[in-house]
Amino acid sequence: MAEQIKTHVLVLGGGPGGYVAAIRCGQLGLETTLVEADKLGGTCLIRGCIPSKAMIHVAGQFETMRHAAAKPVHGIKLSAAPSLNLADTVAWKETVVAKLNTGVTQLLKRAKVNVVKGWGTMQDGKTCSVKTASGDIEIHADHVILATGSVSTELPFMKFGGDVISSTEALMLDKLPEKLVVIGAGYIGLELGIAFAKFGSQVTIVEAMDRILPLFDKQLSDPVKRWLDKNGVTVHLGAKAKMLEKGRKGSSLVVETSDGKTVELPADKFLVTVGRRPLTEGWGIENMAIDMAGRFVKVDDQCRTSMKNVWAVGDLVGEPMLEHKAATQGEMVAEIIAGHNRKFAPAAIAAVCFTEPEVVSAGLTPDDVQTQGIDAITSVFPFAANGRALSMAAGDDGGFVRIIARKDDHRVLGIQAVGAHVAELSAEFATVLEMGALLEDVAGTIHVHPTLSEAFHEAALRGLGHAIHI
């Protein structure tokens, strides 16, 4: 007979939505059990955000050394070109992942959360059967938080396996592919494609839309496109991947280009990054009376599902599929279960693309305000006029900060930026939007010199008609 566990809160999934919910439940004194079959931390920590940023960091260092070996860079010259041992790079990346995984484990332990390692399957709305290494466990709960996350989307004619890889396998390669074809020019494909280009792979990108980063506006994506062109990355826009041909000399992707021609792209690896989908299979959702919203679980502004005391958070409940959204929802649900009055109604959820250069967007875009008929001020300040950017040799990549505000009351509606290290500005952007700040508030805040944030200050001044440094 299966071991029986009775708990107040059951969390299914140990990713950022799940483990944050479990920790907060524990902090609030709620008896909590978390079920996770893999390592704690989820996609973002184990096989996504964190490991990819570690690889991107190393790729940037390697590129800098390659350039210094080719010719002097700011007075630095290397006598020989650097060499790359990708297996060692991956091993270092895994130490970063392990450190964070251990940290999550300790935080759950400190919060007195009971962690059950195994695959959990919901039998009904409050019962979960877990297959563990030591036998089956049946868990009964008063509240259930579903946090099963998402998985990479496959192409029908290119199932993952062998030379066809997802971002997960790309981050585990022990040998640098000489030729890499990336299908999909969204943020995942471009982040990894650019990293491998810096490592020295010959990278080709195939995108069905007419431009890269289709979720960002063209003004933001253009500097990234210029970097790709300058660094020899071939980009096929308006192109459709048709089939994978395997021959004696290797495999080639057959692509229909925008002008109707067919080209073959040979490669060692084919990285498919055409999106992610919520993980709704294999854990018993069919045994629960849960309403769906398309492919996502339907929830209200408190993340309640259609079943009483069953909650869902993160990638499972819709876009944007971002760690910080999932974690915020998980924390909120825990507090609601504990009796707090909370709802999920952020003014904005900032999105960051760690490309070259980086891209940040929070709130409304120029297209949004035009569609909504809002009379707005749009002001842009270039990093070419920012001292900190110039001191990092990051002033000539076309980067800028852009602020969009209502013309009548100067309320800030949206903020975007593209440039080196602009990801670090995302918190200030989100804070300004959450606080309902005016252009005058940003302009009246003293920004530290020399920092990139001064460009944000100057953009606000420019929106008011009196920028200083342009």
Q: Which domains does the chain have, with CATH numbers?
A: 3-47+90-151+277-337 (3.50.50.60), 164-274 (3.50.50.60), 351-463 (3.30.390.30)
363: number of Cβ within 10 Å: 22
Report the alpha-carbon distance of residue 359 to residue 426 in Å, rounded.
10
Residue with tokens 């440094």: 469
Rounded percentage of the chain residues whose pLDDT exceeds 70: 100
248 has a pLDDT exceeding 90: no
Provide CB contacts within 8 A for 396, sequence distance 6+: 384
pLDDT one-digit tens code per residue, 125-148: 999 999 999 999 999 999 999 999
pTM of the model: 0.95
- Could you tell me which of 385, 443, 444 has the C-alpha nearest to residue 419? 385
In our burial notation (b when 16+ CB lie closer than 10 A, e otherwise), range 114-137 reads bbbbbebbbeebbbbbbebeeeeb
Rounded percentage of the chain residues whose pLDDT exceeds 90: 96
246 has a pLDDT exceeding 90: no
pLDDT of residue 247: 81
pLDDT one-digit tens code per residue, 170-198: 999 999 999 999 999 999 999 999 999 99
- Among the listed residues 8, 449, 457, 466, the single catalytic one is 449
Q: What mean pLDDT is predicted for residues 323-332?
A: 97
449 catalytic, yes or no? yes
**Dihedral of the alpha carbons of 128, 130, 135, 139, in degrees to the nearest 10:** -30
Residues listed for the chain = 470
249 has a pLDDT exceeding 90: no
**Mean of the per-residue pLDDT values for the chain?**
96
pLDDT of residue 144: 98
pLDDT one-digit tens code per residue, 263-310: 999 999 999 999 999 999 999 999 999 999 999 999 999 999 999 999
Q: What mean pLDDT is predicted for residues 203-227?
A: 96
Amino acid, single-letter form, for residue 77: K
